Amino acid sequence: MKFEKLSEYKLKITLSNDELPNSDGNLDNFMSNPSTARKSFLDILDKAEDEVGFYVGDNKVRIDAKCQYNGDFIFTITKLIPKRKALKKAIPKRVSTNRKDNCIIYDFDDIDTFLNLCEFLKKHKINHLERFCKYAELYKLDNKYYLIIDEINDEYKYIAQVYSCMTEFADFYSSQGVMTMMIRERGTLIVKNNAINICQKNFK
């Protein structure tokens, strides 16, 4: 049994043929008894929490399963974002109010975490993000993803909520123009502009 934590919300589990409980190596047999399958998954998720720190808690999950050519089974567990989740109050010290360059950079561990942010903003009806800033560009650099938010509108209605959400899914990286230039020069551009809006429309 092998666990691979892909992100805070996604886990990959690899089971060999003889590790699939109550199945005789057959996925249909395993899934035929929902209560037994559920108990088995809960036991597996307990192990995942101990080994890789993937915590499900009371969250609902989506399970995708497939069988490999060598007989192994791959399960992808996706922790679903609650429809109603209390937002933490924005912390002013994380975002300077004296931004000389009027630009902020956040870094994400992986693309799934960025897409989860986009979905979270949409579900909480934080709308008209095109009014939040003039540019929102997504880059990949050294296996991390960077969101450059430039020419920010401090009068945007949901600005505090956006900052609060960002700190839930990403780390504040920099507000210096020189870092923006470095990422644009060395990184790979993923979404040219309006990155959040575009991902909300094209990824579900």
Domain boundaries, the chain: 2-79, 92-202
Q: Which residue has the higher pLDDT, 29 or 160?
A: 160
Whole-number Cα distances in Å, 134 to 55, 137, 140: 37, 10, 20
Structure pTM?
Answer: 0.52
Give tens-digit pLDDT for 185-203.
999 999 988 899 888 887 6
Residues in the chain: 204
In sequence order, the 6+-apart residues with CB closer than 8 A to the CB of 128 are 157
Q: 92-202: which CATH architecture?
A: 2-Layer Sandwich (3.30)
Show the tokens assigned to 48.
């995942």
Percent of the chain with pLDDT over 70: 82
